[in-house]
Chain A
Amino acid sequence: MSARGPLAPALALALCAAAGPAAAQEYTVLVASEATDQIAVVRFGPRLGAGGTPAAKVETSRTVGLNPMDPDGPHGLAFAPDGRSYFVSTAHGAPYGSLWRFDAATGETLGRVELGLFPATLQVSPDGAAAYVVNFNLHGEMVPSSVSVVGLATSAGGGEELVEIARIPTCAMPHGSRLTADGSRHYSACMMDDLLVEIDTRTLAVSRHFLLTKGKEQGMPGAPMVRRGAHAGHDMGGHGMDAPKAGETVCSPTWAQPTPDGRSVYVACNKTSEIVEVDAATWALKRRIAAGDGVYNLAITRDAKLLVATNKRGRSVSVFDAASGKELARIPTLRRVVHGVAVSPDDRYAFVSVEGVGSEPGTLEVIDLATRQRVASADVGQMAGGVDVIAAARP
């Protein structure tokens, strides 16, 4: 789900240069399926299909989790910047979830650390030193939750071990988090508090927060006040699937995506179906962009030209011109409950995960950002959520 850090494009470019024309570049995509504890390893190539057509093929499926009987619920997923390992958050637990690290080539488990309640969206910092994971805390009392910061430590025995180096309190139901390209700031959205939260990664503390409710937008310094009991209980709108009531002003933010230059932060307002742009310098509302129904996750190309949004209720993916806010295309998805999106390191493709409903398979759908059309898809495990992509090494 994460946009690649600055090292990744370099890696991709190097691979592309070695491989020849960029059009033939292939990609390795990972998709986490929360209902089946599966990580699908998918290879996509513009010429991988019959007759040199684009195709996405599931190469293998890897099981993640501790409990063979009950779902561990892999939710967030991100490659490390060097592409040699990847991280998966497992959200279900008894009650705490975990962050796992796997060898990207073999799938071997390299480490696991227990985090908070329902660890969800995650991203690895551009220097690879830390992983940021929101503790979504989906069930139980709606109380402020946190963002966990996990580092790779040298253990006393000489090995490597994942450790949580900070747990930063934020607000209720933190979701959809992303780092700036330079790794200096981390943004997350709190669904139940209508807030955007900024963490200064130098101090590992909340530096600012922003109220997203329509008509009440306001940037504020420091961490939000703890408002225990002031939330709407379990009513989270079917986790982004319920249509909002008429005149809804509550944003119910589900994703925060900074621009590559760090000057703005886009926030997906799932309830009002808008994208809010916040000026990172003045910490003020810049504009509201009308978006698809139930806009959910966001990704931005590295050249900052295109903003890609999944529309959870709208069964589609929208591509926006970031500068004008104009919706350039809305591409229907094959199945329902559109979830995550990751943009390829070369900005050419968007890889979209679609959960499906009930026994429907999850889907990985590939959108060509040049033609703004779906060019390939692959069925994966049910409840597909976390997704990330790297340029594939040549066989």
Chain B
Amino acid sequence: MPVPALALLGLLQQPAQSPAAAPSPVARIVVSPSDPVVAAMDTLRLTGRALDAQGNEVPGVRVRFQQAGGWFEGAVDTTGLVRAGATGMLPVAAVAVVPGTRPFVERVGVRMVPSAAARVAVEGLPATLVVGQRVAPTATAYSAQADRREDRVRWTSSAPGVVSVRDGIVVAAAPGRAVLTAEAGSAKATVPVTVVATRVASVEVSPGTAPAAGWRTGDVLRFRAVAKDAQGRAIPGVTPTWSFSPGQGQIDPDGAFVGYEARPYTVTASLGDRSATAVVTLAARDVRRPATIVGRLPRERFNTEEVWLHPTEQVAYLGSGGGGDVMYAIDISNPAAPTVTDSIVSNTRRVNDVMTTKDGKHLVFTREGASDRRNGIVVASLEDPRHPKVLSEYTETVTAGVHSAFVYTQPKHGTHVYLTNDGTGALHVIDLNDPSKPKEVATWKTPRPDFAGDAGRSLHDIDVQDGLLYASYWNDGLVILDVGNGVKGGSPSNPVLVSQFKYDLNDMYRQVEAAGGPGFIRGTHTAWRHKNYVFIADEVFPSEGVKGAPANSAAGGRAYGRLQVIDVSDMQNPKSVAWYEPEMGGVHNVWVAGDTLYMGAYNGGFRAFDVSGELRGDLRAQAREMVHVHTADPAGRVKNTPMTWGVVVRDGLAYVNDMYNGLWIVRMEPSKAPKPKVMQ
């Protein structure tokens, strides 16, 4: 950055024993433009004039601009040149320095908005309509960077006598063809529409075949509607407008309905002046069940971090943090009495992640906070799983620290460790085919504008399945790479981008900013592929806790966060279809076994919920939660406070690690739910 000019001269020229600097003559800084707005991937020049209390310009003052937040999204240099790398708010401090006086600062916020509309996406507009049918499609404008815009989209019809659009409502007036155009700026989408001459005489609605046990809350019912003419013949290609009442739930334009309450719902399909209804009654999902704490291994010396199980032996491995330099090996052959059999003490102050190779012969754990600042990973031999021995380490390119590591073996490529780099936000791939000599074979990181450097890039966690790597890339969302699957020709030494799922973190967690102020912590934290879904969970903390709360108390603050269910059946176009937010907690690490998702929910304790079948909407509202254990301990490292980290599941037991309260071994008992009421 350039050295400040003469405006700063003399700031420190006063004698050393002079009193504190005099008040600034500046009473106000007028920044132009007054309401600064810049498009993402564009620049804006800010200028400032320093005025005194009478509104006169103070001579000889240069206003210096300084970024005061929003580092992930953009930058401003001292001359006031704003570079927007993403949408959001860029807080800027305009500073005026008059020699011998205190600096004067005025805050401005630069709104970074999506760039010009580059495309318009239309959803919910059937290609075939019947006379009298009214539908309300959505038309959304997106920028070239795929940022959603707030444009009011303008609709026109090539044949208003056939199909007209008013206030976003499409009305089919007469048989014929028309092309509807949705425009935002210079972007537009065209949709050909046919209005069939056949009059709808009747509509029939059915929810599909009910399962033997009947429909339950959270089940996705695929309603179908059949329109018939006066002769009772089906009219092909027409799509009704769906609605339901009463109660809470969700119905999508394709007729997929999910109800949240155990009650009757009336689902209606409308086609022009005809409609039909079907009544479905949902029973309570009744998946809630009791839990038993089978065993515990309290840890009070350090925070407890990652837990991992040996693939074949009854041995668990447990990391430590908050200054912890130890990884424990624990005999869990008697889950009621887990026993430490050995440990590895390393030059680290955090063992955040632990994982074994698939064959159970080796183990990798991460290091952060080494006294010589050479962090990285440690590779241990598991010749005797109860007594791991250090075999090698890899530090060279990841001295800044490694937060997460994922060990993955592919027949074609052998075993590799996929690492996060704390310093640069890059993915590093380490060849572990010779565990005694780990070597780096590739690095990869999300692209950013040159001016941003590594700013805002943070890789937090990694999951690999079927040769596809799911990277939780904080501000950059979920990133899917081919590291051997072949879909993009990737390999461990040549990771290739498959797709990316970004979402508006600031908008999603507006209430966190409202509670604790701007600059809060939020980002895509973890990912887990399961069937055609990827579960992604965010780590979210307010920038300030509750004022006046006692230190280290549960009153001081809480985690927030949402788990999203991303449908990746179309891998190129990941789509969020469902979500879950625990009560009073966050969403940290997850584990999926069978049709159950297990979660460490920070303040929210250990939770498990049912992810069977198709997933849509709010999973908590659907009463899919099965188990909750509040992992607090009056004798914990932090007393009476859960901070549940994650879980590993095997043989019906959940091995739950809590940062403040050590290891918990929990069994989910059979359901004791009351028999469902008989619905009439």
Contacts and interface: CB of A to CB of B under 8 A. Distances in A.
Contacts of B345: 358-359
Nearest to A241: B372
A120 to B, nearest CB: 12
**Chain A interface helix/strand/loop/mixed:** loop
Interface in A357-391: 357-359, 381-383
A94 B456 contact: yes
A241 B372 CA distance: 6
Contacts of B107: 155-156
Interface string B620-654: 00000000000000000000000000000000000
Nearest to A93: B71
Contacts of B104: 153-156
Interface string B414-451: 00000000111100000000000000000000000000
Interface in A1-17: 5-7
Contacts of B24: 153-154
Contact of A139 (B23, B69, B424): B424
B12 A183 contact: yes
B326 A359 contact: yes
A138 B423 contact: yes
B73 interface: no
A161 B93 contact: yes
B349 A359 contact: yes
**Top 7 closest pairs, chain A to chain B, by CB:** A139-B423, A358-B325, A139-B400, A238-B372, A153-B103, A153-B105, A35-B349
A359 B425 CA distance: 26
Contact of A36 (B102, B322, B325): B322
A204 B23 contact: no
B661 interface: no
B20 A155 contact: no
Contact of B551 (A6, A63, A169, A357): A63
A146 B321 CA distance: 32
A114 B106 CA distance: 16
A184 B14 CA distance: 9
Contact of A359 (B15, B17, B302, B455): B302
Interface string B1-34: 1011000111111111110110110001100000
B16 A151 contact: no
Q: Which of B425, B458, B521 has the most CB of A within 10 A?
A: B521
Q: Which of B18, B95, B543 has the most CB of A within 10 A?
A: B95
Contact of B105 (A128, A154, A183, A241): A154
B541 A358 contact: no
B596 interface: no
A130 B12 contact: yes
A202 B10 contact: yes
A392 interface: no
A179 to B, nearest CB: 9
B263 interface: no
A103 to B, nearest CB: 14
Contacts of A205: 3
Contacts of A282: none
Contacts of B18: 127
Given A126-B16, A166-B8, A358-B371, 4 more contacts: A66-B521, A156-B106, A183-B16, A359-B349
Contact of B541 (A67, A92, A94): A67
A261 interface: no
Contacts of A153: 24, 95, 102-105
Contacts of B423: 95, 138-140
A149 B95 CA distance: 13
B454 A140 contact: yes
A6 B93 contact: no
Interface stretch (B60-68, B127-135, B183-191, B264-272): B60-68
A283 interface: no
Nearest to A234: B399
Contacts, number: 194
Interface of B: 1, 3-4, 8-18, 20-21, 23-24, 28-29, 64, 66-69, 71-72, 78, 93, 95, 97, 102-107, 301-302, 322-326, 345-350, 368-369, 371-374, 396-397, 399-400, 403, 422-425, 454-458, 474, 519, 521, 539, 541, 543, 551, 557
Contacts of A323: none
A385 to B, nearest CB: 11
Contacts of A127: 12, 14-18, 20-21
B399 A139 contact: yes
Contact of B373 (A36, A70, A182, A239): A239
25 contacts: A35-B369, A67-B541, A94-B71, A95-B425, A113-B68, A126-B16, A130-B11, A138-B373, A151-B103, A155-B107, A156-B28, A165-B8, A165-B11, A166-B3, A166-B4, A167-B1, A184-B12, A202-B12, A238-B373, A336-B371, A358-B347, A358-B349, A358-B371, A382-B323, A383-B349
A285 interface: no
A273 B543 CA distance: 43
Nearest to A155: B105
A234 B255 CA distance: 58
Contacts of A94: 71-72, 456, 458, 474
Contact count band on A: 35 or more
B12 A168 contact: no
B46 to A, nearest CB: 15
Interface string A13-40: 0000000000000000000001110000
B22 to A, nearest CB: 11
A225 interface: no
B97 A355 contact: no
Q: Which of A113, A138, A358 has the most CB of B within 10 A?
A: A358
Interface in A222-255: 234, 236, 238-239, 241-242
A359 B11 CA distance: 44
Contacts of A92: 422
Nearest to B14: A127
A328 interface: no
A5 B20 CA distance: 14
B11 A71 contact: no
Q: Which of A67, A70, A125 has the most CB of B within 10 A?
A: A70
Contacts of B325: 357-359
Nearest to B320: A359
B492 to A, nearest CB: 23
A337 interface: yes
A164 interface: yes
A234 B103 contact: no
A383 B105 CA distance: 36
A193 B639 CA distance: 49
A54 to B, nearest CB: 28
Contact of A140 (B102, B424, B474): B424
Contacts of A63: 551
Nearest to B520: A66
A4 to B, nearest CB: 12
A203 interface: yes
A71 B422 CA distance: 11
Contacts of B369: 34-35, 71, 382-383
B12 A129 contact: yes
Contacts of A337: 371
B23 A154 contact: yes
